[in-house]
Structure 1
Amino acid sequence: MANAGPDTNGCQFFITCAKCDFLDNKHVVFGRVLDGLLTVRKIENVPTGQNNKPNIPIVIEQCGEL
């Protein structure tokens, strides 16, 4: 559950491409990428702008298994 203050509950997940010590003891690891790592790397290399938001929309669709 993600929470940034009162009335902000939501859900989110991370696909990380490097060690992220700042997430330790705050989030639970529940999976790993088994197929499509090249796609993850392509997403990782999309240029970002303000607040590290991608400059182009990133959409995951028809992904098969989760």
Structure 2
Amino acid sequence: MIEWLKNKAYWNLDELVTYLEREFGGIYKSKQSYYEIFDRAKISRNKNQKTNTKFDKELVKKKTE
């Protein structure tokens, strides 16, 4: 399971739940258990953004003037 996670380019909680249910026949009651699996695989469950979605060029320009 850890190797499966490490070989993926993108991680999704719902996909992990489905994988564990299909491969091992069970699911956890708590989402925290899935987060612990991500932690064991040394995978951050937070999404990174390439750009700041709240960035406002005009507001920055006003502040720097």
Q: What TM-score does the superposition give when structure 2 sets the normalisation length?
A: 0.21
Structure ranking higher on relative contact order (CA contacts 8 Å, 6+ apart): 2
User: Rg: which structure is higher?
Assistant: 2
Which structure carries more helix by proportion? 2
Q: Could you state the TM-score of these two structures normalised by the residue count of structure 1?
A: 0.20
